[in-house]
């Protein structure tokens, strides 16, 4: 369809993970821009890609995510409408927090029967890889406490979770788009039945909600002030979120990476969820620095 047309393909900014690549497609004088998502088949199974694309279609049809125009799980390619928005680089406003609460209420209210658990395999594989890194590199001993605390907290939350709902499970800042009057969720490769408090805690942390905005967000989601028990559970879950991201980003690095040489002090760390490469810094070093930012946040929560 684009043969002979003036077509521009622009990659989206790099993220720590290599699970998928995303591109914006612009055809001069043609239809509105599209977005192509290409899943790395070496890091996902055909079954998980199929489930992700089916969820993307469902959520696009109800306006939670962009509408899917084409999807083929065999090639790992999905083409969707371009959502006229962007990622936040600072704290969300109360209005933006309200839009996100609306999306979460709608997502968590969808039928929860017959749903996949895409996050389970990704998390378990990442934890196993992170343990290999920790065992092989003495400089990573600080992560040993994170492994223990994450396992203990996750087990407690799992045993005390109310009825599981369909959750996104990876609402980092790059997976929420904000326009002038609404927001969208994207990238559903971690979706599945889960604890709604994990989504809530991730939004609060990743969108850097200030105390007043956090209160507004929770009141809008629950349609009332959260109970004391809900507030306590949310605080416990925040630490679990940070520790999970610390371990999962650590698992992205190769076993050959020189962790000792790349060691950084807490003063050199950026905020959790902020992935940025310093001048002359390798991609791997930036990923490790992000992992350490998550780790410091989780252990100090």
Query: Which CATH code fits 94-299?
Result: 3.90.1200.10
The SS3 of residue 296 is helix
Query: How much of the chain is helix, strand and coil, in % rounded to 5?
Result: 45, 15, 40
Q: Which helix (H) or strand (E) holds 8?
A: strand 7-11
40 vs 24: CA distance, rounded Å: 17
d(CA 273, CA 176) in angstroms, rounded, equals 13
Neighbours of 148 (CB within 10 A): 11
pLDDT in tens, 125-135: 999 999 999 99
**CA dihedral of 11, 17, 20, 22, whole degrees rounded to 10:** -20
- Domain spans, the chain: 7-81, 94-299
Residue 139: what pLDDT? 92
Q: Please state, in angstroms and rounded to a whole number, the distance separating the CA atoms of residues 109 and 182.
A: 19
| Residues 239, 139 contacting (CB under 8 angstroms) | no
pLDDT (tens place) for every residue of the chain, 301 residues total: 455 567 889 998 888 888 899 999 988 776 788 999 999 888 888 999 999 999 999 999 999 999 999 999 999 999 999 999 899 989 999 999 999 999 999 999 999 999 999 999 999 999 999 999 999 999 999 999 999 999 999 998 888 888 899 999 999 999 999 999 999 999 999 999 999 999 999 999 999 999 999 999 999 999 999 999 999 999 999 999 999 999 999 999 999 999 999 877 777 787 899 998 888 999 999 999 999 999 999 999 8
pLDDT at site 32: 84
Distance between alpha carbon 70 and the CA centroid of its chain, in Å? 23
Cα dihedral 232→64→85→272 (10° resolution): 30
Q: What is the pLDDT of residue 30?
A: 67
Give the pLDDT of residue 1: 45
Specify the CATH number of the domain 7-81: 3.30.200.20
Confidence (pLDDT) at 83: 92
pLDDT at 289: 94
Supply the pLDDT for residue 27.
81
């Amino acid at each position: 369809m684009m043969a002979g047309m003036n077509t521009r393909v622009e990659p989206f900014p790099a993220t720590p993970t290599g699970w998928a690549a995303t591109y914006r497609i612009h055809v001069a004088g043609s239809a509105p821009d599209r977005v192509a998502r290409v899943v790395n088949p070496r890091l996902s199974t055909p079954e998980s890609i199929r489930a992700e694309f089916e969820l993307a279609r469902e959520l696009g049809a109800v306006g939670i995510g962009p509408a899917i125009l084409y999807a083929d799980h065999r090639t790992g390619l999905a083409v969707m409408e371009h959502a006229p928005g962007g990622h936040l680089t600072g704290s969300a406003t109360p209005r933006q927090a309200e839009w996100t609460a609306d999306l979460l209420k709608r997502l968590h209210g969808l039928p929860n029967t017959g749903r996949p658990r895409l996050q389970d395999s990704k998390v378990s594989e990442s934890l196993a890889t992170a343990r290999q890194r920790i065992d092989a590199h003495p400089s990573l001993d600080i992560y040993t406490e994170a492994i223990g605390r994450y396992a203990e907290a996750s087990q407690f939350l799992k045993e005390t979770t109310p009825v599981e709902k369909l959750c996104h499970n990876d609402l980092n800042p790059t997976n929420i788009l904000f326009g002038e009057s609404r927001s969208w969720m994207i990238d559903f490769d971690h979706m599945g039945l889960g604890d709604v408090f994990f989504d809530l805690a991730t939004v609060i942390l990743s969108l850097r909600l200030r105390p007043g905005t956090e209160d507004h967000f929770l009141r809008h989601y629950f349609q009332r002030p959260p109970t004391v028990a809900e507030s306590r559970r949310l605080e416990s879950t925040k630490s679990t979120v940070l520790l999970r991201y610390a371990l999962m980003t650590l698992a992205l690095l190769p076993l050959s990476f020189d962790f000792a040489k790349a060691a950084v002090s807490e003063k050199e760390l950026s905020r959790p969820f902020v992935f940025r490469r310093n001048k002359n810094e390798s991609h791997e070093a930036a990923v490790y620095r992000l992992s350490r930012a998550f780790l410091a946040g989780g252990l100090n929560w």
